[in-house]
Amino acid sequence: MIRLALVLCLALVVSACAPLAVRPTGDTDVLAAQSAREAALADITHWAMDGRLSVNAGGEGGSGRIQWRQQGDDFQIRLSAPVTRKSWVLTRAGGEVRLEGLEGGTRRGPDAEQLLFDATGWRIPVAALAAWARGARAPGPADIDFSPDGLPSLISQEGWVVEYREWDAADPARPRRVFARQGEQASLRLVVDAWSVPAP
């Protein structure tokens, strides 16, 4: 249950349906527009997201509310399970990562991914998720396909496949429904109820 909760805390993503038609990855106009959208998103260093998350990991499944608060390089990711009334919080502040809500008390470390791996055995690319959640590529090699409207339909990166199924009407646009999977190991679904840009 602890491992499942932590996967839920970190994974941002949702809603699998029949595949959409895509534009070729190499379409230079579409790629240029995506790069411009990613640059605009990178300028928004303080943002927040509230939504509903479900996960299937290692044959286990669950769902709950997720709140993500990002302030520059720092973040707080909170998952709450309405049925059990439990919550788990992963926080990065001042270069230290803190994981709360586990049996045995709070755990601390310098690296979110390593802290989670040590606590759960799961390799979750926390830094990349901050980009993927907003429909952007994380730094490093990535494959990307586009829907007919020019927005990403799929990003493949770091062993994860992230599919985008619905977007809002903001400028730049942000995902509303996303699905991600890491081979047969994990699948994650996210419905975003609200995006916001709080004051720094």
Six-digit token pair at 81? 């399970």
Six-digit token pair at 196? 């916001």
* Residues 6 or more apart whose Cβ sits within 8 Å of residue 66: 8, 9, 12, 49, 50, 51, 52, 53, 77, 78, 79, 190
Distance CA 54, CA 12 (A): 9
Percentage of the residues of the chain whose pLDDT score is greater than 70: 79
Interval 56-65: pLDDT, tens: 776 666 788 8
The predicted model gives 40-68 an average pLDDT of: 85
Rounded mean pLDDT of the chain?
81
Residue 136: what pLDDT?
A: 95
Interval 95-125: pLDDT, tens: 899 988 877 789 898 888 888 777 766 667 7
SS3 84: coil
Interval 176-185: pLDDT, tens: 999 989 888 8
pLDDT band at 186 (very low <50, low <70, confident <90, very high): confident
Residue 13: what pLDDT?
A: 36
Given a cut of 80, whether residue 10 has pLDDT beyond it is: no
Residue 25: what pLDDT?
A: 54
Domains along the chain with CATH numbers: 2-194 (2.50.20.10)
Given a cut of 60, whether residue 53 has pLDDT beyond it is: yes
The predicted model gives 123-131 an average pLDDT of: 81
pLDDT band at 134 (very low <50, low <70, confident <90, very high): very high
For the chain, what's the residue count? 200
Is-contact 62 81, C-beta < 8 A? yes
Given a cut of 50, whether residue 17 has pLDDT beyond it is: no
pLDDT band at 3 (very low <50, low <70, confident <90, very high): low
pTM: 0.81
